[in-house]
Amino acid sequence: MIRLATLLVALATAAFSQSADTVLVNGKILTVDSQSSVREAIAIRAGRIQAVGSTADIRKLAGPSTRTIDLQGRTVIPGLIDSHLHAIRAALSFSTEVNWIGARSLPEALGRIHAAAQTMKPGSWLIVAGGWNVDQFQERRRPTQAELVAAAPDNPVYVQLGYGWAILTPAGLRALNIATDADLPSSGKLEKDAAGKPTGGVTGGQNAIIALFDRLPKPTFDQQVDGTKKFFRELNRLGLTGVVDPGGNNLLPADYQALFQVWREGQMTLRVAYSLCGNNAGAEFEEFKNLTQLLPMGFGDSMLKFNGLGERITAAMNNNNRPSATDKEKYAQIAKWAAERGMSLTMHWGNDSSVGQLLDIFESVNKEVPLKDLRWSIAHLNDASEQSLRRMKALGVGWTVQDAMYFGGDQFRQTSGVEAARRAPPVVTGAKLGVAIGAGTDAHRVASYNPFTALQWFLDGKTVSGVAIRGPEETPSRAEALRLYTLGSAWFSFDETQRGSLEIGKLADLAVLSRDYMTVPVDQVGGIESLLTMVGGKIVYAAGPYRQ
């Protein structure tokens, strides 16, 4: 035994004495370990964290070929992980869409349309697929059809606002052969002004807008691959090194092929854990069985892996607060089948008043197949009650929380009241109860993909219009919010032992920030970016002093 112990000590000493591939020194390293320790420097070897400590100690690990990065006092955080971002879908069209995320006025937003019209081929579609809100504009209104035509007179234009409204220019309506309500998807209506004149807008609810979007021309496969690479690097720019993608609307099995191509090429700069959703209404069970026959849970590698089912399991239960007994029975059948195969499952649910029906199903499945180790989760649920959170904790079901109230908080307060808004969402209560919580955005149809926008919202509870709606009792500290976006989110893809904190042996996923997240004024947190992002010790984004 003494010889074995001596050998182990010798091996550990030899490993530690090996030169690091990269060292980052003279900084403020937010480790997000169990004590939220802050260190000065970090060493990386073979894609993993070799050591953290003082600058003097870490410098001792530098050899002749070690790359030394002087942080000059800058803050380093674990790479951010969005626990609920529709990244695969957003990436498909990122190189061809016009992005209104962060635009503060209509002239700025319309200017982006105009600029795209100058650079894209004549007659190309100009599409804004979401991620913006009326309240982000100084004018507090939607664009008019005339304004869109003025910005791009020679292009068909389509602009979508969440899942409730879209507007097309005359060229866009002609291209899709839309002249009357009969030409729209079921329940779709052409919006008219007070004089009865069409505005170019389309209403009719989520299903109508989803179906309308599906009529737009899709990017070519090469454009999808290009968009995937560009979108992932855009996320890297914002300190993101991983996402848990829940599937969702407008995403068919064929739409995963661009992602798979980037993975095969070894060009992934973002770790992706992806889910499969049901698209064939009424036949989802057979669909899931066919899609997953040779796709066991966790299949893949550290950059891309299968993460189960979500967020749309069946069409009948999707956004349905009053599912029938048959709807629930069919859902339960799929849920039990998934549990028996060790699959994770995430489910979109909007409000606490009806979530009990979903939890009833989960509890029924749990009696036959324990869920505690499967990492099942509920997404959204902004008004979660303590009772629902306790039921989730008892099942081992996690909660992915997004900044939906950043765009939707003003309306929520009007419909649900000031007191309800003060606790939406109750992340502090959930954390105290021990519910696994991950942070995210739900981008990019209904929200911005910027994690620092979400982090600022976690900290100040202010909507995009500047109104503070959440109370201090449900406001996490900066360290707690960062933990939700790192270790918290890693839990949902079974990765909390591999990433999410800067600790010895973990993957070297990190971001060097443009501002100190811990001390910058809260109202400036949303403006933070990454100056240097690393995934597995490899630089995937560099700017400013690190560009070279």
pLDDT per residue as tens digits for the range 439-489? 999 999 999 999 999 999 999 999 999 999 999 999 999 999 999 999 999
Mean pLDDT, residues 125-139 taken together: 94
Q: What is the pLDDT of residue 183?
A: 97
Residue 186 lies in a domain: yes
- Judged against a pLDDT cut of 50, whether residue 1 lies above it is answered with no
Measured on CA atoms in the order 531, 548, 506, 297, is the torsion positive or negative? positive
Residue 91 lies in a domain: no
Q: What is the pLDDT of residue 16?
A: 55
- In this structure, are 390 and 513 located in the same domain? yes
- In this structure, are 199 and 229 located in the same domain? no
CATH number where 34 lies = 2.30.40.10
- In this structure, are 53 and 118 located in the same domain? no
- In this structure, are 74 and 137 located in the same domain? no
Mean pLDDT, residues 64-89 taken together: 98
Number of domains in the chain: 3
What band does 15 get if pLDDT is binned at 50, 70 and 90? Answer: very low
Report the candidate in 343, 370, 333 with the shortest Cα–Cα distance to residue 275: 343
Domain hosting 139: range is 97-214
- In this structure, are 31 and 180 located in the same domain? no
Q: What is the pLDDT of residue 4?
A: 43
CATH number where 121 lies = 3.10.310.70
Residue 83 lies in a domain: no
- What tens digit of pLDDT does each residue of 421-433 get? 999 999 999 999 9
Residue 288 lies in a domain: yes
- Quote the mean pLDDT of the chain: 95
- In this structure, are 516 and 538 located in the same domain? no
- In this structure, are 361 and 410 located in the same domain? yes
Residue 90 lies in a domain: no
- What tens digit of pLDDT does each residue of 221-251 get? 999 999 999 999 999 999 999 999 999 888 9
Residue 88 lies in a domain: no
Q: Are strands 198-203 and 189-192 parallel, antiparallel or unpaired?
A: antiparallel
- Judged against a pLDDT cut of 70, whether residue 8 lies above it is answered with no
Identify the helix (H) or strand (E) that includes residue 52.
Answer: strand 48-53
Please give the Cα distance from 82 to 492 (Å, whole number): 10
Residue 84 lies in a domain: no
CATH number where 427 lies = 3.20.20.140
- Go through the chain and tell me how many residues it has: 548
Residue 208 contacts by C-beta under 8 Å, 6 or more apart in sequence?
A: 184, 185, 186, 187, 188, 189, 202
Percentage of residues in the chain with pLDDT exceeding 90? 94
Residue 469 lies in a domain: yes
State pTM to two decimals.
0.94
Q: What is the pLDDT of residue 548?
A: 83
Please give the Cα distance from 438 to 487 (Å, whole number): 8
Which tokens is 510 given? 């990190």
CB 227 within 8 A of CB 258: yes
What band does 3 get if pLDDT is binned at 50, 70 and 90? Answer: low
- What tens digit of pLDDT does each residue of 485-518 get? 999 999 999 999 999 999 999 999 999 999 999 9
Please give the Cα distance from 309 to 288 (Å, whole number): 8
- Judged against a pLDDT cut of 90, whether residue 321 lies above it is answered with yes
Report the candidate in 430, 409, 426 with the shortest Cα–Cα distance to residue 418: 409
Mean pLDDT, residues 183-212 taken together: 95
- In this structure, are 490 and 382 located in the same domain? yes
CB 491 within 8 A of CB 483: no
Q: Quick check: helix, strand or coil at residue 51?
A: strand
Q: What is the pLDDT of residue 6?
A: 52
CB 55 within 8 A of CB 26: yes
